[in-house]
């Protein structure tokens, strides 16, 4: 497969993957509520290759390759009723622990500095 063909196929796959449906999930109807899941989607990819220059013997090295990665993180859901629309975020335990560790570290460093100054 030629590099141009690989790149074209990569772009076509990216078009089908990067869509509104990837971020907003399929709505679910529960009683009088409609729940729409929402996620953050991150994608990246690349292709590359090389061939023997034209005019040189065809036995030279050549190669092509490509790759793509997709990551999804739930953010919350939109809840639609007859009366209103609400946003319900997902509580991110990892982020809360990271913020807590940062605050604890900052407080400890501040106490250490104050104690050192008072000596």
| Tens-digit pLDDT profile for residues 14-70 | 777 767 677 788 899 999 999 999 988 888 877 777 777 776 666 666 777 777 788
The residue that leads in pLDDT, 5 or 117, is 117
Query: 69 with 85: CB under 8 angstroms?
Result: no
The predicted model scores a pTM of: 0.55
Query: 88 with 81: CB under 8 angstroms?
Result: no
Beta bridge partners of 112: none
Integer Cα distance of 39 and 60 in angstroms? 47
Integer Cα distance of 52 and 44 in angstroms? 28
The residue that leads in pLDDT, 5 or 113, is 113
pLDDT tens digits, residue range 73-92? 889 999 999 999 999 998 88
> Which structure tokens are listed for 53?
């220059």
Integer Cα distance of 9 and 17 in angstroms? 12
Does residue 103 carry a pLDDT above 90? yes
pLDDT tens digits, residue range 88-97? 998 888 889 9
Domain boundaries, the chain: 3-90
Angle at 41 between CA 96 and CA 79, to 5 degrees: 70
């Amino acid at each position: 497969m030629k590099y141009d063909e690989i790149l074209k196929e990569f772009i076509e796959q990216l078009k089908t993957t990067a869509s509104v449906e990837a971020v907003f999930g399929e709505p679910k109807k529960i009683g009088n509520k409609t729940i729409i899941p929402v996620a953050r989607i991150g994608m990246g990819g690349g292709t590359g290759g090389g061939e023997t220059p034209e005019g040189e013997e065809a036995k030279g090295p050549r190669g092509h390759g490509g790759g793509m990665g997709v990551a999804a993180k739930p953010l919350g859901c939109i809840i639609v009723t007859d009366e209103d629309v609400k946003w319900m975020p997902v509580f991110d335990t990892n982020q809360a622990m990271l913020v807590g560790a940062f605050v604890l570290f900052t407080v400890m460093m501040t106490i250490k500095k104050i104690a050192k100054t008072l000596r």
